Amino acid sequence: MKTLAELGDLRGKRVLVRSDLNVPLDGQTITDDGRIRASLPTITQLTQAGARVVVCAHLGRPKGAPDPQFSLAPVAARLGELLGTDVAFADDTVGESARSTVEALQDGQVALLENLRFNPGETSKDEAERGAFADQLAQLADAYVSDGFGVVHRAQASVYDIATRLPAAMGGLVQTEVDVLQRLTSDPERPYAVVLGGAKVSDKLGVIDNLLGTADRLLIGGGMVFTFLKAQGHEVGKSLLEEDQLATVTEYLERAERDGVEIILPTDVVAATEFSADAEHEVVAADAIPADRMGLDIGPDSAKHFADKLADCRTVFWNGPMGAFEMAPYASGTETVARALVEATKGGALTVVGGGDSAAAVRQLGFADSDFGHISTGGGASLEYLEGKELPGLSVFDGEEG
């Protein structure tokens, strides 16, 4: 896979950089700029090389047309603040504003195009429509750099098609992500534990299936745990449950026991009368959840047990919070697991926080990115890599195009 160095002298060249700037917004206020910060090293490297940097990205899920609530204008402002320089903003993707903004760039300057998904060609399933949009993007640049790991699992115009139309390379962020994930999948240092949480077990089926042949321990929390508890014959009250996944989860439990993979489930949970911070709640045994309550966090005994199971690990991957961490009464399990990862990191273990809600959780709970070995910028992409799936935004670099 080509790196930036292999693109040669970039001074005066227009370089289109696909970043992942899909940050959470509260109106026009960015509530977590982690992804913007993660994009800075590659952009800075290019500006210092004298390139004219054209950043492109998406935000949210607009329906292929301009939508002010998904404008990247606030991101352009924050990117400029973090870079310490003005970032020119084009208020369209490949139209007159984009062309004139790029044309005005001088060596070492940066521009950001408006939300790629305002153009239907970006995410189109029709190869011709997607290709036409990629052609228009390619006219704005002399070279392409893929630096948005959070989208490499999508066959989209700015991720896949563009890399077949310009001299292309992977940016430092994508290279780092791939290097870390390779360490998780190719002869990881053991013991190797995977902590999985989040709402739905169906979102994690592929990764559980693949990790049963790789990991030594699987620690299961979050809403997905109740499907596991139900598969063991326990009642789960009003807790989140995917009935249609019970047979699959039962098979996973049997396979793990047969293959010597330890699956650790909570022994107690915080159960509430409703999904609310103000709801009446109590700690109950995981096999005795009252019929009128729902589990919203792993309990204190379970959290301590999870931490103990992580203490001697040399490799840990974590994806998905242990409970509804956004509400204080149900944040303790996630915080305890995070602290266990911090301690493991101090002891020299490779700890990887798998993006998405997990990254948001550790930041919201007051942890620094540097407390962990690596915080991924791509939740879905990380999971699909660990599932063993081919990721279009990576596989395109295996060919001879570009």
Q: What number of other Cβ atoms are within 10 A of residue 402's Cβ? A: 16
Active-site annotation holds for 380: yes
Q: Could you list the beta-strand ranges (E) of 266-324.
A: 268-272, 281-285, 294-298, 315-319
Mean pLDDT of the chain: 95
Q: Place 133 in a pLDDT band, splitting at 50, 70 and 90.
A: very high
Instruction: Judge whether 4-175 and 188-387 match in fold.
Output: yes
Catalytic residue chosen out of the listed positions 200, 255, 314, 389: 200
Active-site annotation holds for 354: no
Q: Which residues are annotated as a binding site for substrate?
A: 20-22, 35, 58-61, 117, 154
Q: Using DSSP, how many helices (H) and how many strands (E) does the chain show?
A: 13, 17
Q: What is the pLDDT of residues 152-201, one digit of tens each?
A: 999 999 999 999 999 999 999 999 999 999 999 998 999 999 999 998 88
Strands 143-146, 14-18: pairing kind: parallel
Domain residue limits, the chain: 4-175, 188-387
Mean pLDDT of 207-224: 94
Mean pLDDT of 305-328: 96
Query: Could you give the CA distance from residue 265 to residue 227 in angstroms, rounded to a whole number?
Result: 11
Q: Place 297 in a pLDDT band, splitting at 50, 70 and 90.
A: very high
Beginning with the edge strand found earlier in the chain, give each strand of the sheet holding 281-285 in spatial order.
Answer: 281-285, 268-272, 294-298
Helix axes 300-310, 332-346, angle to 10 degrees: 20
Identity of the residue numbered 143: A
Q: Which residues are annotated as a binding site?
A: 20-22, 35, 58-61, 117, 154, 204, 295, 326, 355-358
Query: Which residues are bridge partners to 317 per DSSP?
Result: 194, 352
Query: Could you give the CA distance from residue 51 to residue 8 in angstroms, rounded to a whole number?
Result: 11
CA-based torsion, 250, 380, 223, 244: positive or negative: negative
Catalytic residue chosen out of the listed positions 14, 35, 52, 230: 35
DSSP letters, 325-367, are: TTSGGG-HHHHHHHHHHHHHHHTT-EEEE-SHHHHHHHHHTT-
Catalytic residue chosen out of the listed positions 34, 356, 379, 393: 356
72 contacts: CB under 8 Å, gap ≥ 6: 21, 57, 59, 89, 112, 113, 114, 115
Q: Are 130 and 396 in contact (CB under 8 A)?
A: no
pTM of the model: 0.89
Residue 223, φ and ψ in degrees, nearest 5: -60, -25
Query: Could you give the CA distance from residue 179 to residue 184 in angstroms, rounded to a whole number?
Result: 9
Q: Are 298 and 268 in contact (CB under 8 A)?
A: yes
Q: What is the pLDDT of residues 269-295, one digit of tens each?
A: 999 999 999 999 999 999 999 999 999
Q: Place 401 in a pLDDT band, splitting at 50, 70 and 90.
A: very low
Q: Given a cut of 80, is residue 402 above it in pLDDT?
A: no
Q: Does domain 4-175 have CATH number 3.40.50.720?
A: no
DSSP letters, 140-162, are: T-SEEEE--GGGTTS--TTTTGG
* Residue of 336, 308, 310 lying closest to 192 (CA atoms): 310
Q: Which residues are annotated as a binding site for (2R)-3-phosphoglycerate?
A: 35, 117, 154
Active-site annotation holds for 14: no
pLDDT of residue 356: 76
DSSP letters, 180-213, are: HHHHHHSS--SSEEEEE-SS-GGGGHHHHHHHTT
| CATH architecture under which domain 188-387 falls | 3-Layer(aba) Sandwich (3.40)
23 contacts: CB under 8 Å, gap ≥ 6: 30, 31, 32, 33, 34, 35, 36, 59, 75
pLDDT of residue 2: 86
Q: Which residues are annotated as a binding site for ATP?
A: 204, 295, 326, 355-358
Catalytic residue chosen out of the listed positions 50, 108, 206, 380: 380
Active-site annotation holds for 35: yes
Q: What number of other Cβ atoms are within 10 A of residue 50's Cβ? A: 14
Rounded to 5 degrees, what angle do the CA atoms 159, 162, 168 make?
90
* Residue of 154, 129, 127, 180 lying closest to 18 (CA atoms): 154
pLDDT of residue 400: 44
Query: Could you give the CA distance from residue 316 to residue 314 in angstroms, rounded to a whole number?
Result: 7
Q: Place 399 in a pLDDT band, splitting at 50, 70 and 90.
A: low
